[in-house]
Amino acid sequence: MTSSARRPPRSIFLGPSVAVLVLAAAGCSLSDARPPVPVPTPSAEAAAYCEALDEALPRTVLEQERSDPSPDSELTAGWGDGAIVLRCGVPRPAKMDDPQAQGVEADGVQWMLEEPEGSGPRFTTTYRKAYVEVTLSSAYAHDMTPLAAFAGPVSKTVPSRF
């Protein structure tokens, strides 16, 4: 009887070609990736207001389509691939204790303005039962127009403290 010994299949070294393929795929996905947006951790009451707000938010803001950031959450929303980012249920900003803090009003909703170094403006609602923060890219450095798109939804879903 002859035993037929099978030879193991010859392995083909694909190292460089596989590495190039993996790097190319990673390069494509990394260049399109936006940085993650921190998801707030509000109280249960504030989270309920934020969930209602999420459903009332507009599909477009200044012709920017809604494009929510990651991780996926009802507490965050975005438009224009990160040009406009909304977070609901954020903590009360310490800046609100500053008597020199600047505020603006957009269609009946009061917002406090902060201008973090190296980025666009950040606005946070005041006198609401949940704090809503809107961060704008530097393209909107001198433009609070996007706030008007949020005034109606905020007014309808996040009650005033007074």
Element (H, E) at 79: strand 76-79
Identify the band that residue 140 occupies on the pLDDT scale cut at 50, 70 and 90: confident
18, two tokens: 């596989």
pTM summary value:
0.78
Q: Which residues are CB-contacts of 65 (< 8 A; sequence separation ≥ 6)?
A: 59, 79, 80
Contact at 8 Å (CB) between 80 and 64? yes
Query: What CA–CA distance (Å, rounded) separates 43 from 130?
Result: 9
Give the lowest-confidence range in 6-20, 59-73, 130-144: 6-20
> Tell me: the pLDDT tens digits for 88-109?
999 999 999 999 999 999 999 9
For 118-130, the DSSP string reads TS--EEEE-SBSS
Number of residues assigned to the chain: 162
More confident residue, 33 or 106: 106
* 90 vs 133: CA distance, rounded Å: 7
